[in-house]
């Protein structure tokens, strides 16, 4: 077993994910102390303190990481470049840096550009959360039984770091997420971004367009049922976080949108032609796949 | 208050909706006896009988309606023409006929063509149910607090029926659904079909295409999270029922697919251009609408 106790953990961004990680680390005694970083004047820091998700509140990321053995970026992706730049000079030798961002290629690139050789950056994407935001919704069990995708840096971004050193850092990050209850899966950043474009970013774009399309028939909204609300639930998530996600995963998202529209056109053509057999076959294919996914996830 | 007790009710099709209606009517003592019609050799009739959703099991629709004061078609839409034809000769004078189908223009047309002048057909669309099917999932409270859309026949389909007679029949059908706990809303069939195309049929087509698109990256399916399963839940519904729905609401579904693809293209263009402000604005519009809908439905 990897040692996953950290003397001082800095969590930059104390929203739902950051504060939940603080709660989970403290509940399991995995961190000596937890420093939380938030904006001056926002409520998040005081809520996170009051809920004991963090021990110390900081508004300056550089100050917050000076003694950190582990640093976790948990803001929206758009803030990452400025944070990397800000903490770069302050990070102590041997610090392990990771994140909870939903895209990885761009993040690995930023980290390789900005962070010094005496620290290790390993990308993380804990696939947990909800459409709710803020430390008031944080839960120490948020990560339990969910999947965390972990991305070591690609060869060309490693600088002087040996394979052994990268392997060791990756193992420590995996141990961290497993310690808070997650199932980890290691893969390279490019593949990560393709996967989440398919199962997360595309559904988000589609749910958004569904609500916008339905808004064009406002009277019809009085007839919505549970199906519509389920299908569009993720459209209630934070617009700024998601704008950043789309922008940092542009090629894979564009590709998935193309695949999706092609599939929708196939169904549309079958409906226009009145081809009952083709329509039923497409619906059956989707049902079989979706039933399998739901059963695998919730074994009864 | 309208009188909503019926001496003999025939429910043709004892799946989830038909059997739930039987349970709801019997629990509230709204029906003298309930005759259920199903296919010879299928399990549905015996399950519906055992669960006491029906009192009498029949395989011949004509026999089942001979003494009916209320007839409810609860099969898939594709079976409606044959059922209308079969029961036409057997319906007693004054019988009230309705259905639970998800589209209405085509159904009103079939009813006007096939049913005799001495009965009244009023279209119903109880917006209740789930992706589960069969009388084993039936519940007497399935309809409670859900919306039922009720469609009187258009002027040209009324034959010798007076406005007063149509009004009275419509009132009786509305009273039926209110008696099992629903909120009714009266509207014409064409508008009904536009509304449900927007809030129900389009989301179904989209959820189906989402699963099919994700299936093209099979490895990515190991990374699915709750968001994907919510967004695609309705893709687990019955393919035959839904093929019929798409085919009997072709013009409105085609139109909604066009509106949807246009909205998705707008988002796609903003992502391609890297236009953060436009992306965030589209996401915010969708979030505002969707939050309002969710709050209206689940007032806290």
pLDDT in tens, B174-210: 999 999 999 999 999 999 999 999 999 999 999 999 9
Do A194 and B216 make contact, defined as CB atoms within 8 angstroms?
no
Q: Which pLDDT does position A1 carry in this prediction?
A: 45
Q: Which residues contact B201 (CB under 8 A, 6 or more apart)?
A: B102, B245, B246, B249, B252, B253, B256
- Judge whether B208 is closer than 8 Å to chain A, CB to CB: yes
H-run or E-run covering B34 = strand B31-37
The DSSP code for A103 is -
Q: Measuring CA to CA, which residue among B208, B218, B228 is closest to residue A146?
A: B228
Q: Which domains does chain A have, with CATH numbers?
A: 6-187 (3.40.50.720), 191-297 (1.10.3660.10)
Does pLDDT of A3 surpass 70?
A: no
Q: Which pLDDT does position B1 carry in this prediction?
A: 45
- Report the relative pairing of strands A96-99 and A120-121 from DSSP bridges: parallel
Q: Which pLDDT does position B3 carry in this prediction?
A: 58
Asked which of A19-23, A131-135, A182-186, B183-187 is least confident by mean pLDDT, the reply is A131-135
Do A199 and B256 make contact, defined as CB atoms within 8 angstroms?
no
Q: Which pLDDT does position A300 carry in this prediction?
A: 40
Nearest-by-Cβ selection for B200 from A228, A262, A274:
A228
Q: Which pLDDT does position B42 carry in this prediction?
A: 86
Do B271 and A289 make contact, defined as CB atoms within 8 angstroms?
no
Does pLDDT of A129 surpass 60?
A: yes
Report ipTM (2 d.p.). 0.87
Radius of gyration of chain A (CA): 21
Q: Which pLDDT does position A2 carry in this prediction?
A: 53
Nearest-by-Cβ selection for A274 from B233, B247, B272:
B247
Q: How confident is the model at residue B2 (pLDDT cuts 50, 70, 90)?
A: low
User: Which positions in chain B touch A200 (Cβ < 8 Å)?
Assistant: 223, 225, 227-228
């Amino acid at each position: 077993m990897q040692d996953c106790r950290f003397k001082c953990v800095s969590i930059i961004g104390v929203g739902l994910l950051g504060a939940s990680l603080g709660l989970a680390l403290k509940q399991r005694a995995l961190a000596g102390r937890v420093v939380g970083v938030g904006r001056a004047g926002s409520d998040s820091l005081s809520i996170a303190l009051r809920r004991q998700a963090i021990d110390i509140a900081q508004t300056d990321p550089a100050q917050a990481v000076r003694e950190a053995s582990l640093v976790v970026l948990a803001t929206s992706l758009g803030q990452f470049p400025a944070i990397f730049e800000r903490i770069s000079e302050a990070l102590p030798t041997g610090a392990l840096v990771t994140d909870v961002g939903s895209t990885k290629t761009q993040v690995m690139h930023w980290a390789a550009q900005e962070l010094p050789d005496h620290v290790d950056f390993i990308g993380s994407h804990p696939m947990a959360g909800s459409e709710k935001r803020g430390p008031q919704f944080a839960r120490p069990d948020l990560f339990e039984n969910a999947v965390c995708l972990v991305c070591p840096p690609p060869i060309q971004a490693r600088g002087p770091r040996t394979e052994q050193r990268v392997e060791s850092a990756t193992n420590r990050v995996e141990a961290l997420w497993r310690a808070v209850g997650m199932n980890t899966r290691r893969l390279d950043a490019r593949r990560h971004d393709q996967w989440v474009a398919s199962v997360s970013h595309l559904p988000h774009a589609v749910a958004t367009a569904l609500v916008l399309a339905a808004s064009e028939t406002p009277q019809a909204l009085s007839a919505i049922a549970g199906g519509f609300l389920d299908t569009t639930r993720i459209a209630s998530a934070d617009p700024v976080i998601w704008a950043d996600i789309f922008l940092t995963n542009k090629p894979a998202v564009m590709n998935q949108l193309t695949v999706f529209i092609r599939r929708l056109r196939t169904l549309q053509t079958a409906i226009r032609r009145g081809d009952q057999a083709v329509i039923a076959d497409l619906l059956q294919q989707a049902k079989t796949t979706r039933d399998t996914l739901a059963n695998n996830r919730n074994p009864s």
